[in-house]
Amino acid sequence: MSLSGKQVTILGAGRSGRAAAALALREGANVSAWDTAGPEVLQWMPPEVTLHPNAGAELGRNVTSDLLVVSPGIDTYGPYVAAFATHAAEVIGEVELAARFYHGLIIGITGTNGKTTTTELVSRILGHAGLGGAACGNYGIPFAEIVLQDAPPAAVALELSSFQLETIRTLHPDVAIWLNFAPDHLDRYPTVAAYRAAKLRLFETQTGADTAVVRAGESLPPLAACSVTFSTLDESAEWFSDGRSIRHDGKKVLELEHDTCLRGLHNAENVMAAMAACQALGIPLARMREALHGYTPPPHRCELIRTLDGVEYLNDSKATNLHALESALRSQTRPVVLLAGGKDKGLDYTSVLPLLHDKAVACVTFGQIAQPLQELFAAAVASQAVVTLADALHAARALAPNGSTVLLSPGTSSFDQFSGYEQRGNTFRDLVNQLR
């Protein structure tokens, strides 16, 4: 693809938009950037870019482009993009633009939950194997920044959100990972089916020479790529885990708790997906074990803080919605004392009750939603309500038997008592480390 002399319009002045602008400039395009915000948002654009702050849809209808590049935070199907697309020859996103100028191997990763951890695992393995393996896309740095490097890596771990997948056309993952699917982002998509269709675009350009790594039991359309399955339920899958060990074709290849700092069935799925993807690129199992040794997950995602008196303390503060709470509970292999609560968002937590009954020995609720949550959860497990996170931790410690897990997985946002899930998780980590 040649952009020499072409008119490229960038919508959105965030990091993704800036990277796309820089790449288009490098390829000889005339570049303009448009944003609904004021001039301060556009100040970090490359100096050669023509800037258009405070740009509404009415201006977009008069813009002619050879290529319109839309940032993922902007609704692809909304009126703003539609206005700029009126006189645009093609509409794509920054990830698609970068893919057209990248010549290495791509492992593309999508799913409703677990994308970031899996992307980190893939990146770590690729790096250890000498392939570079930068983490990019929806996590890490924009893909276009990778392409702009003097010596781009031989392979990338490319996390892809549904928003980014909406605008791909030619992006071709050598390996595509489908972790899982659950309803989400219904503030952007009219139906669950529309959200699912966006994610399925990951497989559209694959051929029989490529690999699709898929959780067993997922209902997917026929795929052109060669499929490899992983599971924590179906032992006939090529990759299987009971949450403690990882098996490939029936042979144990990794001890999760011994070889990594990861815990839970959901993290076992992430590890299996990453290993299956990297094996498809020819990386030996022994090299993968070396790469994963001592790996710890990103903060606030079932992060093991410490083990004290036989009790594990996990920080899953990133669980700001009901589905994330259910996923964290489902993944546990030890008895759980759950810490849940925060801002009351009007959610119905009834669906959690069967999991609480199966997985938890006790529950401590805190924050604005503490009392109604305690009253609901008491139908499934012994529960008590307190005010603060510190109160909740001390109550949980008294309730947690040897061999159990104290799990902070709030199931709602933190804005009643904290500035965000990061502050809530950091506070929990500090409190746990102060226990004696």
3-class secondary structure, 208: coil
357 in active site: no
Catalytic residue among 30, 52, 113, 115: 115
DSSP conformational letter for 348: -
Main-chain dihedrals φ then ψ at residue 308, nearest 5 degrees: -135, 125
Q: How many residues does the chain have?
A: 436
- Cβ-based neighbours of 271, under 8 Å, separated by 6 or more: 121, 241, 246, 254, 256, 260, 262, 292
Catalytic residue among 87, 185, 323, 394: 185
Six-digit token pair at 215?
């959780």
Is the Cβ–Cβ distance between 374 and 385 less than 8 Å?
yes
Catalytic residue among 138, 180, 267, 270: 138
433 in active site: no
- Cβ-based neighbours of 287, under 8 Å, separated by 6 or more: 125, 128, 129
258 in active site: no
How far is CA 144 from its chain centroid? Answer: 19
3-class secondary structure, 240: strand
Mark residue 273 as left, alpha or beta (left: phi above 0; alpha: psi -120 to 50; beta: remaining). alpha
Measured CA to CA, the distance from residue 260 to residue 297 in angstroms comes to: 9
Per the listing, tokens 């009253």 go with 375
Is the Cβ–Cβ distance between 109 and 177 less than 8 Å?
yes
Residues taking part in catalysis: 115, 138, 185
